[in-house]
Amino acid sequence: MSELLQAIEIETKPKPSHSVIWLHGLGADGNDFVPIVQQLSLPPLGIRFVFPHAPMRPVTLNGGFVMRAWYDIVLQDLAMKEDESGLRQSQEMIEQLIAKEKSRGVPMSRIVIAGFSQGGVIALQTGLRQPQRLAGVMSLSAYLPLPSKIEKERNAANQNVPIFLGHGIADTMVPLSLGIASRDQLLKLGYDVDWHQYPMPHSVCAEELEDISAWLTRVLL
């Protein structure tokens, strides 16, 4: 078993009853989305936001430069050659964080797995394979990994989990077409997908934060 990821934690109230595990993108760290908490309109609940730091690893597409990454990227065409081993290793790391939240008294049904870019990929990779129902899965500016394997590997416990997908129409890092293809596959598999697209590049915008606030309120209450 790998070592538990280090993470930044923010609690909206003492003794939180709900948790949001939020994963950053390539080359960033857990600090990246910490300011988001104050920008969200959240329900009056005790929520623990967990912002883990991805491991340091060489990224092939960036000339082998070592940076924080949830998995390796080999080609510019992200879906062409995926780092399956890295994806599964990160899934295990997030499952350890889920187990930690459960050990602190937060049931699986009150845990949201969220992420941006690479983090959003790992949110889908992890969330759809869990043997107990999550509160929700949120994937921003990302895509569904290992699409040829999800139908066999998904767990029925999360067949009805709410899924928020947000994407920028001007995203040049993760093309909108890849996000749409992921949405369509999830819909075909019968998932409850809440799809949003915004006039933005590979980022997060104010309109998206409003939609995230509304979605989090719905799935956490």
Q: Could you say which of 117, 139, 141, 182 is catalytic?
A: 117
Spatial separation of the C-alpha atoms in residues 54 and 31, rounded to whole Å: 11
Q: Does 194 qualify as catalytic in the annotation?
A: no
Which member of 202, 203, 211, 213 is catalytic? 202
Instruction: Name the amino acid, one letter, at 30.
Output: G
Please identify which of the residues 29, 32, 83, 171 carries the catalytic annotation: 171
Cβ-count burial 73-102 (b if 16+ within 10 Å, e if not): beeeebbeebbeebbbbbbebbeebbebbe
**Burial (Cβ within 10 Å: 0-12, 13-18, ≥19) of residue 110:** buried
Q: Is 192 a catalytic residue?
A: no
Active-site residue flag, 202: yes
For strands 162-168 and 136-140, give the pairing: parallel
Q: DSSP assignment of 149-205, as one string?
A: THHHH--GGGTT-EEEEEEETT-SSS-HHHHHHHHHHHHHTT-EEEEEEES-SSS--
Task: Cite the active site residues.
Answer: 117, 171, 202
